[in-house]
Amino acid sequence: MGLKEAARAAICYIEDKVVGDDVGLTLEEIEWSDRARTWLVTVGVRRGAPGTGTVLGTGEDRAGTVYKLVRVRADGQVVSVENR
């Protein structure tokens, strides 16, 4: 499993668990762990209406965003999700 497939698996898993039309998902970080033989994928989950806050100086909306660290094994199975 490559980087793109791991990112897709993590995002699809979070999409299945998060319900609502006002939820936006973003891929934030991805890293391969040789020791654990898993992909570490950070997904941003934003709830609520956009425009409620921005990161200083970027114009990027980050208010209400929580981050999930999703561990994806090399075979594509999601083995854990943690709040970050």
What phi-psi label fits residue 81: left (phi over 0), alpha (psi between -120 and 50 degrees) or beta? beta
pTM for this prediction = 0.79
Residues 1/74, Cβ–Cβ less than 8 Å: yes
Q: Where are the domains of the chain?
A: 3-83
Nearest to 70 by CA among 60, 59, 78: 78
Tokens coding 34: 């040789």
Query: Which pair of tokens denotes residue 71?
Result: 């561990």
Per residue in 3-47, pLDDT tens? 999 999 999 999 998 766 778 899 999 999 999 999 999 999 987
**Where does 1-84 have alpha helices with state H?**
3-17
